[in-house]
A and B are shown apart, each in its own frame.
Chain A
Amino acid sequence: MSAKKTEATTEAPPEDLTREQLLGMYRRMRLIRAFEDKAKERFEAGEIAGFLHLSQGQEAVPVGVCWALGPRDYITSTHRGHGDVIAKGCEVKRMFAELYGRATGYCKGKGGSMHIADFSQGIIGATGIVSGSLPTSVGIGMGIKQRGGDEVVVCFFGDGATAEGGFHEALNLASLWQVPVVFVCQNNLYGLSQPWEKTAYKCDLVARVGTYHIPGECVDGMDVIAVHRAARKAVERARRGGGPGFIEAKTYRFLGHYVGDPALYMPAEEREAWRKRDAIVKLRGQLLAWGYLTEAEDEAMGAEVAAEIEAGVEYAKASPLAAPETALDELYVHFDYLGNPR
């Protein structure tokens, strides 16, 4: 992140978050931004195959939400999920390894950008099917409930998913069965090239979800503290057995749907206005104003993040390619891909 100019804040530092927590969030947001900037650069250089759906601009949402989760909690994610999984704890080096098709990648090169998962950290794979993870999240919640656990699952999805049938079925069942799922809509105002207001008639998502008797809150997705507070409330309620919750985080996709999408459908003035509201810049300004961060510390953190990213790319490039024949592995537990018993 190169932007240096910050707006002065008149707010007092929050009483419910420590300096360490806020610095941690800030660093994690920067790590996501740096990861995606680097992934874009390497993709454009032809080193990474497939699709990249980037989430620049949305970092405050997964970071604010995941800061309300513990290591045993779960998340599900989407095709635009790099930020979500980093926020929950994925290491960038193994993510780069996945993007580079290496054996050391989280999915051994079988998942790629859209399916990064780390079950050991409760990171249930991202899915490339819009709304596909919503019904599955209800089942994760049901599984938690059945085994008497107090974990919570956060289901991240975009505004595009709200027009899919899976969204409505999942909300209905989550409410009916009172499962511990927090649905988090990252409303970045575009589904593919379709602006939000052209996909749902006068839609107030909190009101819409409210008809399923799921309590919801609409927050500024460019304010990590606001997102975190809403998430903390919903997660704590779900953990206590209070049933599902919903958060609509109003945010913005700074770039197109995928790397290479010129995004001509996004008006220049709209993009400019949202870029001025960059959540990372906003938090940086707050941290400086509150005396939680000095310019020198900020620069040191930037260098540290950049080094982590560089090391991640180096790790990926130095890792062995996933062997071609491993394409035939790990389909079934009990049989090989031809159906012969293991």
Chain B
Amino acid sequence: MAVREITYREALKEAMREEMLRDETIFLIGEDIADPHGGSYKVTAGLSTEFGLDRVIQTPISEQGFIGTAVGAALMGRRPVAEILYIDFCTMAMDQIVNQAAKIRYMSGGQAKVPLVIRTQGGMGRSSAAQHAQSLEAWFVHTPGLLVAMPSTPYDAKGLLKTAIRLDDPVIFIEHKLLYNTKGPVPEEEYTIPFGVADVKREGRDCTVVATSRTVLMALEAAEALEREGISVEVVDPRTLFPLDVETIVGSVKKTSRLVVVHEAVERCGFGAEVVAQVAEKAYGYVDAPIVRVCAPSVPAPFARQMEDYVMVDAKKIADRVRQLVRGEI
């Protein structure tokens, strides 16, 4: 396979472009997504020029309205890919996401399907402060009827987005604002990544780190540092938070007998709690140390860089916790 290095941004754009060429019922909808603006994070740049403004529909600042529009169009057999600029703004559209998109199939007794993808991005690291830096994935994982993906690499971003667009269920597809410029190998040939299949990003013996989105990169950095100290870390990236590949996570913990769960969202009732519970239920007796979470404390994202750094997960915090765990200091 021919593999080149492209950015996370380019990988996402390729996924949408290829799918739009394949299926004319797919259309994009959102704020500022058309050219010349091309999306606030430039993910959709060029697509309106190529496909026209009927397939790349620019909307007013109107999240409830255009997500509702996407839901209705999905009910009509169209395949909308909506973009909510910041995951924080999902709050404006929560009725349409949670009460409508997630429920219509179920409450109609299976008469309908909602093939809708909502692309959005979250995460800290740019001094974006409390209303532009949240990680709200747990809200959506907690809502029956939604699928949730959080890719960490360009390869995963492309393969998962193509799958998301082809699925007939509503998908919340959460990107990370600091991943758009990261580069990685992406094959030129067509490929997709199934939902519910975790990726072991690095194999190891002493401790399993389950990490999501950008924290996967931090976990890999931590694993590399720890390797030099003789500690071997296995990094598991669930890639989709629902469906969740519990089997791979549990299998890894059974092998390493230690677990650290990492995410940028606040710890309280975060996605990590679900991972911990699954492991407690399914690998009880295999775990030789306390299960530890490395997450943000339960405060809003602060603005000042030093404060944001203080609350945000990083490679050092992950490495410190893993080291303590492996040395039996916790």
**Interface residue ranges, A against B (CB under 8 Å):** 105-111, 115, 117-120, 124-125, 127-129, 132, 134-144, 146-147, 165-166, 169-170, 172-173, 176, 329-335, 337-341
> For residues 111 through 152 of chain B, which have their beta carbon under 8 Å from a beta carbon of chain A?
111-113, 144-145, 147
Q: How far is the CA of A334 from the CA of B196 in the complex (A)?
A: 11
* Interface segment, one of B95-103, B203-211, B222-230, B303-311: B95-103
Q: Is B71 an interface residue (CB 8 A)?
A: yes
Write the chain A residue with the least CB distance to B114. A333
Nearest CB of A to B162, in Å: 14
**Residues of chain B contacted by A335 (CB below 8 angstroms):** 147, 169, 195-196, 243
Known: A125-B108, A166-B68, A340-B196. 20 other contacts (CB 8 A): A107-B111, A109-B109, A111-B107, A115-B108, A117-B109, A119-B111, A134-B68, A135-B96, A139-B71, A141-B72, A142-B78, A143-B78, A146-B73, A146-B76, A166-B64, A169-B65, A330-B106, A333-B105, A335-B243, A341-B196
Q: How far is the CA of A166 from the CA of B68 in the complex (A)?
A: 9
Contact: B78 with A127, CB < 8 Å? no
Which residue of A117, A138, A166, A339 contacts B72 across the interface (Cβ within 8 Å)?
Answer: A138
**Interface residue ranges, B against A (CB under 8 Å):** 25, 27, 54, 59-60, 62, 64-78, 80, 95-96, 99-100, 104-113, 144-145, 147, 167-169, 194-196, 242-244
Write the chain B residue with the least CB distance to A106. B109
Contact: B96 with A132, CB < 8 Å? yes
Contact: B99 with A146, CB < 8 Å? no
**Residues of chain A contacted by B242 (CB below 8 angstroms):** 339
Contact: A334 with B168, CB < 8 Å? yes
A340-B243 contact in complex given A107-B111, A111-B109, A143-B73, C-beta closer than 8 Å:
yes
Q: How far is the CA of A105 from the CA of B77 in the complex (A)?
A: 24
**Residues of chain B contacted by A136 (CB below 8 angstroms):** 68-69, 71-72, 75, 96, 100
A132-B95 contact in complex given A111-B109, A165-B64, C-beta closer than 8 Å:
yes
Contact: A135 with B69, CB < 8 Å? yes
Write the chain B residue with the least CB distance to A341. B196
A334-B78 contact in complex given A110-B107, A135-B69, C-beta closer than 8 Å:
no
A140-B95 contact in complex given A146-B27, A330-B105, C-beta closer than 8 Å:
no
Nearest CB of B to A142, in Å: 5
Contact: A146 with B109, CB < 8 Å? no
A-B pair count, CB < 8 Å, reads: 165
Contact: A146 with B54, CB < 8 Å? yes
Q: How far is the CA of A111 from the CA of B107 in the complex (A)?
A: 5
A124-B27 contact in complex given A132-B100, A135-B64, A135-B68, C-beta closer than 8 Å:
no
Q: How far is the CA of A128 from the CA of B66 in the complex (A)?
A: 20
Contact: A172 with B169, CB < 8 Å? no
**Residues of chain A contacted by B73 (CB below 8 angstroms):** 139-140, 142-143, 146
Smallest CB-CB A-B distances: 7 pairs = A135-B68, A139-B72, A143-B76, A339-B243, A169-B65, A330-B110, A108-B109
Contact: A137 with B107, CB < 8 Å? no
**Residues of chain B contacted by A337 (CB below 8 angstroms):** 144
Contact: A170 with B65, CB < 8 Å? yes
Q: How far is the CA of A340 from the CA of B168 in the complex (A)?
A: 15
**Residues of chain B contacted by A333 (CB below 8 angstroms):** 105, 113, 167-169
**Residues of chain B contacted by A139 (CB below 8 angstroms):** 68-76, 80
22 contacts between A and B (CB under 8 A): A107-B109, A110-B109, A111-B107, A117-B111, A119-B108, A135-B64, A135-B72, A139-B69, A140-B73, A140-B75, A146-B54, A146-B73, A165-B64, A166-B64, A176-B60, A331-B145, A332-B145, A332-B147, A332-B169, A335-B147, A340-B243, A341-B243
**Residues of chain A contacted by B108 (CB below 8 angstroms):** 106-107, 110-111, 115, 117, 119, 125
Q: How far is the CA of A281 from the CA of B75 in the complex (A)?
A: 38
**Residues of chain A contacted by B74 (CB below 8 angstroms):** 139, 143
Q: How far is the CA of A189 from the CA of B74 in the complex (A)?
A: 34
Write the chain B residue with the least CB distance to A142. B73
Contact: B68 with A331, CB < 8 Å? no
Nearest CB of A to B17, in Å: 19
A172-B105 contact in complex given A135-B71, A136-B71, C-beta closer than 8 Å:
no
**Residues of chain A contacted by B99 (CB below 8 angstroms):** 127-129, 132
Write the chain A residue with the least CB distance to B27. A146
Write the chain B residue with the least CB distance to A340. B243
Q: How far is the CA of A117 from the CA of B167 in the complex (A)?
A: 23
Nearest CB of A to B195, in Å: 8
Q: How far is the CA of A127 from the CA of B74 in the complex (A)?
A: 17
Nearest CB of B to A155, in Å: 10
Write the chain B residue with the least CB distance to A141. B72
Write the chain A residue with the least CB distance to B163. A334
Write the chain B residue with the least CB distance to A124. B75
Q: How far is the CA of A109 from the CA of B106 in the complex (A)?
A: 10
**Residues of chain B contacted by A165 (CB below 8 angstroms):** 64
Nearest CB of B to A232, in Å: 24
Q: How far is the CA of A144 from the CA of B76 in the complex (A)?
A: 7
Nearest CB of B to A154, in Å: 13
Q: How far is the CA of A339 from the CA of B147 in the complex (A)?
A: 9
